[in-house]
């Protein structure tokens, strides 16, 4: 993909075709493709190079439009109520005055429906990335860079995950040309489930790929924590109350202390005389025990005892007291026994205590990277459906029209417009593309009853049956995995 689009002498257009699928308006030589690799010159005809993707709808998969495996037993015949035409490979509505490339009539469960199918050109889009980790990746609002260019930012830390926002129109079009192209490439790679390398200012080096464990500063994350320190204490309190005298679950956010915690109190555990250095919230719950980092529980700690002050005999401390310290994933663990001076001394962990920590690990889910594509469906998309685009928005808002992305279910945000998000792994492979304006290209479909389509001012003259629509175009047929 070139950073620049060649300017072609229009006097030479006799051997070329002009593409109007985006504002670049490439002149394409015979046998070549345009800047986006999506359209080519095939024997003097402008041609969408990828096949249209259709999805099987069968009783076996319950009518779910979920990806996907290429169907090997398809004989090429189309049955109206057995396939769903997606926007992948369909072409675009650009410029805005054209109807959608495919406006297809079908019959689903006895209802006459119309599906408008297109590939949207999204300048207003981003990738929201969820990284399952307790490891510190950088401060909130820190700039995220790809190849040195700013492409997004760190947003909030959630329950065992760190969130990134990559893209958005300000990065795509509001900065330099190189920033826009770097942002486009990064979003595209994330949406295609390819690995990307990112750097957080004041934070970590990241290698991220949808559906794969995140790699943070060269460390492959394995487990997503079972809960915060307080929650972990609560979940395993009953087991620990029979095995040890005190438990501290170290966590960057909320560190839990068993005997002070409500769970320990309800179980009747005696106080241990422990002192935790941190900001006490409620009994057994502490904030700010250390700075965030890559150590114990997502903190900078390498020695967990550094968060403890002297044990107090007047408050229950005694020689022989058994102390377990663990992280929220069970990946860091230590066991101590108080000596005659009430100082914790490292000791061999009993097998039953090892088994209790193994239960933490067993209840942790695999750490993954999740990518959501978020986009606003604007003028050209809606005009391709109806001559009065606001009617489409109202129809979506009223749930008379179903929005899908490559056949995958999407979440449509409340409020104005049609802003949707979709898990990129639920969209058929190779569905995302680009135009070097820069913008991301993604499939989108609007399905409604024929009656509702005509009511919202749809392009009735462009409605075709599935057989007619797909008769002369290459088709890729997918079926849901068993």
Q: What is the rounded average pLDDT of the residues 171-185?
A: 95
- For strands 322-327 and 196-200, give the pairing: unpaired
Phi/psi at 420 (5° precision): -125, 160
Confidence bin at 7 (pLDDT 50/70/90)? very low
Q: Structure pTM?
A: 0.87
Whether the per-residue pLDDT at 4 is higher than 70: the answer is no
Half-sphere exposure of 135 (CA within 13 A, CB side): 23
What's residue 57's pLDDT? 63
Residue 397: how many CB atoms within 10 A of its CB?
15
What's residue 465's pLDDT? 87
Q: List, for residues 33-65, the tens digit of each pLDDT value.
A: 888 888 888 888 888 888 888 877 655 544 444
Whether the per-residue pLDDT at 455 is higher than 90: the answer is yes
Q: What is the rounded average pLDDT of the residues 304-318?
A: 97
Q: What is the DSSP letter of 367?
A: P
Q: List, for residues 364-384, the tens digit of each pLDDT value.
A: 999 999 999 999 998 678 889
Tell whether omega for the bond before 359 is within 30 degrees of 0, i.e. cis. no
Identify which of 79-93, 112-126, 264-278 has the greatest average pLDDT.
264-278
Confidence bin at 482 (pLDDT 50/70/90)? very low
Can you spell out the DSSP letters for 123-136? SSEEEEEEEE-SS-
Write down all domains in the chain, each with its CATH number in brackets.
10-48 (no CATH), 52-123+378-479 (no CATH), 125-222 (2.40.30), 229-366 (no CATH)
Q: Which two tokens stand for residue 348?
A: 């061999």
- For strands 279-280 and 255-257, give the pairing: unpaired
Q: What is the rounded average pLDDT of the residues 215-222?
A: 96
List Cα–Cα distances, 449 to 13, 159, 265, 401, 444, in angstroms.
Answer: 44, 40, 59, 8, 17
Region for 171 from its dihedrals, namely left if φ exceeds 0, alpha if ψ lies in -120 to 50, beta otherwise: alpha
Question: What's the rounded Cα separation, in Å, for the pair 319 and 260?
Answer: 19
Q: Are 184 and 440 in contact (CB under 8 A)?
A: yes
Mean pLDDT, the chain, integer: 88
């Amino acid at each position: 993909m070139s950073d620049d689009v060649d300017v072609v002498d229009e006097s030479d257009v006799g051997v070329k075709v002009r593409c109007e699928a985006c504002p670049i308006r490439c002149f394409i030589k015979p046998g070549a493709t345009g800047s986006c690799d999506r359209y080519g010159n095939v024997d003097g005809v402008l041609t969408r190079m990828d096949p249209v993707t259709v999805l099987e709808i069968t009783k076996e998969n319950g009518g779910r439009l979920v990806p996907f495996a290429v169907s090997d037993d398809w004989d090429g015949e189309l049955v109206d109520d057995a396939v769903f035409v997606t926007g992948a490979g369909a072409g675009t509505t650009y410029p805005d005055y054209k109807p959608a490339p495919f406006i297809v009539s079908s019959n689903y469960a006895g209802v006459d429906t119309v599906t408008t199918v297109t590939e949207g050109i999204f300048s207003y889009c981003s990738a929201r990335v969820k990284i399952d980790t307790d490891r510190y990746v950088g401060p909130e609002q820190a700039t995220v860079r790809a190849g040195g260019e700013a492409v997004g930012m760190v947003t909030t830390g959630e329950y065992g995950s760190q969130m990134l926002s990559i893209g958005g129109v300000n990065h795509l079009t509001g900065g330099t040309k190189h920033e826009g192209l770097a942002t486009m490439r990064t979003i595209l790679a994330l949406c295609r489930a390819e690995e990307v390398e990112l750097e957080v200012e004041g934070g970590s080096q990241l290698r991220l790929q949808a559906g794969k464990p995140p790699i943070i500063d060269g460390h492959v994350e394995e487990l997503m924590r079972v809960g915060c320190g307080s929650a972990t204490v609560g979940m395993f309190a009953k087991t620990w109350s029979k095995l040890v005298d005190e438990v501290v679950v170290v966590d960057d956010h909320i560190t839990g202390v068993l005997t002070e915690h409500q769970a320990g109190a309800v179980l009747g555990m005696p106080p241990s005389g422990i002192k935790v250095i941190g900001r006490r919230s409620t009994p057994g719950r502490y904030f700010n025990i250390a700075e965030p980092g890559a150590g114990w529980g997502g903190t900078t700690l390498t020695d967990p005892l550094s968060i403890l002050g002297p044990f107090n005999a007047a408050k229950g401390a005694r020689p022989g007291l058994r102390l377990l310290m663990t992280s929220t994933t069970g990946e860091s663990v230590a066991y101590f026994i108080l000596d005659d001076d009430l100082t914790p001394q490292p000791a061999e962990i009993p097998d039953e205590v090892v088994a209790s920590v193994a239960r933490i690990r067993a209840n942790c889910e695999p750490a993954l990277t999740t990518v959501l594509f978020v986009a606003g469906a604007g003028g050209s998309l809606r005009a391709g459906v109806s001559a009065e685009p606001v009617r489409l928005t109202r129809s979506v808002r009223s749930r008379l029209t179903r929005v899908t992305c490559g056949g995958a279910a999407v979440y449509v945000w409340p409020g104005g417009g049609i802003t949707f998000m979709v898990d990129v792994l639920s969209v058929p492979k190779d569905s995302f593309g680009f135009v070097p304006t820069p913008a991301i290209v993604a499939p989108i479909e609007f399905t409604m009853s024929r009656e509702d389509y005509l009511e919202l001012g749809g392009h009735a003259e462009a409605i075709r049956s599935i057989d007619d629509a797909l008769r002369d175009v290459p088709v890729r047929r997918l079926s849901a995995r068993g």
